[in-house]
Structure 1
Amino acid sequence: MKTAKRIFKNAFVLLSAHVVSKILAFLYIMYAARYLQASGFGVLSFALALAGMFGVLADIGLQSLMIRELARESAQVKKYLSNVSCIKILLSAAVMMIMMLTVHLLGYPSNTVQVVLFIGLYVILGSFTEMIYSVFRACEQMELVSLGIILKDVLLFSGIVYAIANRFSIVGIAVIYTVSGAAVLFYALSVLNIRVLKPGSRWLPWIMGLNLRFWKITVRKALPFGLSAFFVMLYFWVDSVMLSFMKGNEVVGLYNAAYRIVLVFTLIPAAIVNALFPVISRYFKTSYENLISIYENSFKYLLLMGLPVGVGVTFLADMIIPLIFGSSYNPAVPVLEILIWAGVLMFPTTLFGTVLASIDRQNLGMYAVGFCALINIVLNMILIPRYSYLGAAYATVITEVVGFALQYWFLSKHLHAINLPRTV
């Protein structure tokens, strides 16, 4: 019962924070989309998509590995922080250089290059913040993560409202992202020192624990997580990048108006699964029976939450889009009607990926997500030239169906087969 209460409390805290965060994010995205119009919003969406994909390479799965390992052995906090932070500094520098070289070689205009630069810095800063959040999550101090989540979007909301009121350019809005990311990283570092690390372990003493052999072992363990995360980001955002190449920024803006609405609903499985991850990781070592019970019940309740979302959004899409983004975004209505079903499938697939990682089968999760990313790219190449953003939406739903089937099969083979007809 104590474990169940702890999971519920952590899930509730994270879900509450994500709800507040997504409401704020929804508002500032709505204001930015209306202010920038579809073409300008397309540039911002392209930058966020590209930086998101490259940003994963600055982490290579280190965050997920830290949660799993520190949940099992919390005494290793200082060792992981000192070594992982140094690895990430080197990776981040390389990623930023490669990303900026890419946009230059592709011939994007200077204002797009500047937007990518500042959004890239924002993503890198966020990666370091998430590294610290990994410690909080492993220690099940979800309230510290929740405060940081809310703080980030409060700063972005305030900054973007100020930027719009003062008629900032799109580059100025991108700078707001960078400043907000730096402020949230400062918060995370401060709380880490005050609430988690012992007095003798703060700040500079981290570097005293560097161990190059540990780097090699850690990177090898983290790579399956990292590749999975990269494939997930590729799957989530490659459609925006490909639409930018093939159809232009205005189409990207329309597509992302619908996509942003779908992503709001994914906060529900994300919050629940984040609370479950450290618990499932421990149960894998201590109690198979409890692990199966949590897995089955979580699947059932996530499916129960997701299906009404799909039905409701499908019927109300023609009201939701103009209400949030204005009538100029009405072409995004059919995109939302299609994409929301990918969002419904993300409820259980988010759980599947986390359970695979918790039972040391992250390689299988990586294979599934990598295969899905490849399918998504191929489908986008076939469907976008003919059907534009509708083609990208169909590609996303088909890919999510494949991902569900693959990960369900892996878990049925290596852990437990849920009776799908009975559950549904």
Structure 2
Amino acid sequence: MIEVKKIAKNTLLIFVSQILYYILTFFTVIYTARYLGADGFGILSLALSITGIFAMFIDMGLSTFMVREVSRDKSKADKYIPNVALMRLILSLLTILLIILLVNVINYAEIVKIVIYILTISVIINGISGIFSYVFQANEKMEYLSMSTLILSISMLTGTLIGVYYQFDILYFAYLYIISNGLVFIFIFLAYLWKFNLPKIKIDWNIWKPTLKEAWPFGVAAMSGLLYTYIDSILLSIFQNNTVVGWYSAAYRLMLVVLFIPNAFNTVIFPVMSPLFKTSPESLRLINERYFKYMVIIGIPLGFGTTFLAQKIILLVYGSGYTNSILSLQILIWTMVFTFIGASFVQVLQSINKQLIITKIAVICVIINVILNLILIPSYSYIGASIATVLTEIILVGYTIYATSKLGYGIRDLNVNNDLSKVIIASSIMSTFILYFNDLNFYLLVVLSILLYLVAITLLRVFDDADKLLIKNLLNR
């Protein structure tokens, strides 16, 4: 019960901060996309895609490894921080060289190259601050992570509004990432000094090999995930143009907004799950069942609702200049549905030291995704890229659930599986309402649709006694 209350408290804290973060980021994207137009927004999105992929090369799974190990033994933080910092420094230098090589081989326009180089610096700064952030996560001190995300989002939105007001060019918006990530680094570093003692700079070469050996599967899995997430934008820039990248990215960025939900759960639950692997495997399985159920309750109606409201959403957010993004959003949102469904199973595999399985699945999926993109993009442009992304996610989640179940951590509670069909029924009822009352004010339609869905899942008895007890404990905090 103590663990349940701790999870509930930390989840609420992270959830609220993530909501604020994504709301502020949402407006940042809106103002940036509207101001720069599809072509300029396409350049910025392409640069973010390339640097986002290489950001995981800087990390190479060290972040997840640190959280797992320090959550099990808090005294290990002092040993890992200086060594991981040096590892990341070396990886950062290699990353810079690889990015320079890539952008010159592809022969991007000069402005695109400059934007990519600028964003590379911001990624390196973010990687350094991440070392200290992961110690806070491992110690389950989520308030500091919440503050850092808010600092990032507030500085980005403020800087964007200044840029729009003074009509700065695209380079300003690229430099804004360096400034914002720099502020986050200053905060998280000072917070670490205040909360913990700065570890002595002691490099232990003996732990490098075992650390990298344990961490690299996390890194390859994450990098593979980012590859099939962002490779479509890179291929679109090669086969199509920056404007098409802008249309696709507009829909994609909207889809990513809802990632704060599984991300909030992951941030809080992973440090709790990891020790349970050794102390209480059955508790780990039960947490997985609850996590899966709640992601289904949230994810499936999100897919249905966004599909039928996509036109209103795109026109409201981006304006008529992005009408080509409507169909892309209707397709891409289902990527998030399957991401929600598979989120808990990924965390289980990481918690039980089976990250190599995730790596194998991710590598297979990135190969499939690249093949699908190469087949679909030349003929179907950004719509083909959207389809490739969804198909890849379905395969990834399917393999992940299968692997987790084979290891004995699957969903055994038949009631949880039955809830899946009930959620689909409730979502269908909500969708029918949206279609029938589509002429209503957008905000009113969204609110009424959510209320109808909540009534439907309540009448269908989706929430059981365990859910009610969990909600009661959360409210009592």
Do the structures match in fold with TM over 0.5?
yes
Distance in 2 (CA, whole Å) between partners of 1:114 and 1:167 is 19
Distance in 1 (CA, whole Å) between partners of 2:419 and 2:397 is 15
Equivalent in 207, 223, 227 of residue 230 of structure 1: 223
Shift in Å at residue 21 of structure 1?
0.7
Q: Secondary structure at the match of 1:415?
A: coil
Task: Give the conservation status (yes or no) of the 8 Å contact 1:81–1:206.
Answer: no
Question: AA paired with 1:234?
Answer: L
In 2 relative to 1, CA 365–423 (structure 1 residues): closer, same or farther, beyond 3 Å?
Answer: farther
1:19-418 matches, within 5 Å, as 19-195=19-195, 197-198=196-197, 202=198, 206-207=200-201, 209-418=202-411
| Offset from partner CA, 1:308-340 (integer Å, 9 cap, x none) | 111111110000001001111011000010111
Q: Secondary structure at the match of 2:231?
A: helix
Shift in Å at residue 213 of structure 1?
1.2
Distance in 1 (CA, whole Å) between partners of 2:161 and 2:339 is 31
Aligned CA RMSD, in angstroms, stands at 1.1
Distance in 2 (CA, whole Å) between partners of 1:105 and 1:404 is 34
Question: AA paired with 1:402?
Answer: I
Distance in 2 (CA, whole Å) between partners of 1:85 and 1:326 is 44
Distance in 2 (CA, whole Å) between partners of 1:316 and 1:105 is 41
Distance in 2 (CA, whole Å) between partners of 1:238 and 1:351 is 25
| Offset from partner CA, 1:363-406 (integer Å, 9 cap, x none) | 00111111111111110000111111110111111111101110
Query: Aligned residue for 2:442?
Result: none
Question: AA paired with 2:7?
Answer: I
Task: Give the conservation status (yes or no) of the 8 Å contact 2:129–2:188.
Answer: yes
Gaps of 5+ in 2: 421-477
Q: Secondary structure at the match of 1:416?
A: coil
Distance in 1 (CA, whole Å) between partners of 2:44 and 2:296 is 33
Task: Give the conservation status (yes or no) of the 8 Å contact 2:292–2:343.
Answer: no
Task: Give the conservation status (yes or no) of the 8 Å contact 1:100–1:116.
Answer: no
Q: Secondary structure at the match of 2:323?
A: helix
Q: After alignment, is 78-87 or 163-172 more displaced? A: 163-172
Gaps of 5+ in 1: none
Query: Aligned residue for 2:418?
Result: 422
Question: AA paired with 2:388?
Answer: A
Between Structure 1 and Structure 2, whose CA radius of gyration is higher? 2
Distance in 2 (CA, whole Å) between partners of 1:158 and 1:192 is 26
Query: Aligned residue for 2:10?
Result: 10
Shift in Å at residue 348 of structure 1?
2.2
Question: AA paired with 1:121?
Answer: I
Q: Secondary structure at the match of 1:57?
A: helix
Q: Secondary structure at the match of 1:243?
A: helix
| Offset from partner CA, 1:338-359 (integer Å, 9 cap, x none) | 1111111111222221210101
Question: AA paired with 1:226?
Answer: G
Q: After alignment, is 90-99 or 67-76 more displaced? A: 90-99
Shift in Å at residue 160 of structure 1?
1.2
Distance in 1 (CA, whole Å) between partners of 2:215 and 2:261 is 26
Shift in Å at residue 105 of structure 1?
2.5
Q: After alignment, is 286-295 or 103-112 more displaced? A: 103-112
Distance in 1 (CA, whole Å) between partners of 2:394 and 2:220 is 20
Shift in Å at residue 236 of structure 1?
1.0
Task: Give the conservation status (yes or no) of the 8 Å contact 1:306–1:344.
Answer: yes
Distance in 2 (CA, whole Å) between partners of 1:43 and 1:225 is 29
In 2 relative to 1, CA 423–366 (structure 1 residues): closer, same or farther, beyond 3 Å?
Answer: farther
TM-score, normalising length: structure 2:
0.86
Task: Give the conservation status (yes or no) of the 8 Å contact 2:51–2:123.
Answer: yes
| Offset from partner CA, 1:96-149 (integer Å, 9 cap, x none) | 121022112321122111100111111121122222111011000011001001
Percent identity over paired residues: 36
Query: Aligned residue for 2:443?
Result: none
Task: Give the conservation status (yes or no) of the 8 Å contact 2:218–2:355.
Answer: yes
Question: AA paired with 2:167?
Answer: R
Q: Secondary structure at the match of 1:206?
A: coil
Shift in Å at residue 423 of structure 1?
4.2
Q: Secondary structure at the match of 1:38?
A: helix
| Offset from partner CA, 1:220-244 (integer Å, 9 cap, x none) | 1100001011001101111111111
Task: Give the conservation status (yes or no) of the 8 Å contact 1:339–1:393.
Answer: yes
Task: Give the conservation status (yes or no) of the 8 Å contact 2:285–2:410.
Answer: no
Q: Give the ranges of 4+ consecutive aligned residues of structure 1 lying more than 2 Å apart after TM superposition.
A: 419-423
Shift in Å at residue 206 of structure 1?
3.2
Distance in 2 (CA, whole Å) between partners of 1:109 and 1:392 is 23
Shift in Å at residue 421 of structure 1?
4.3
**Bigger RCO (CA 8 Å, 6+ sep):** 1
Question: AA paired with 1:214?
Answer: I
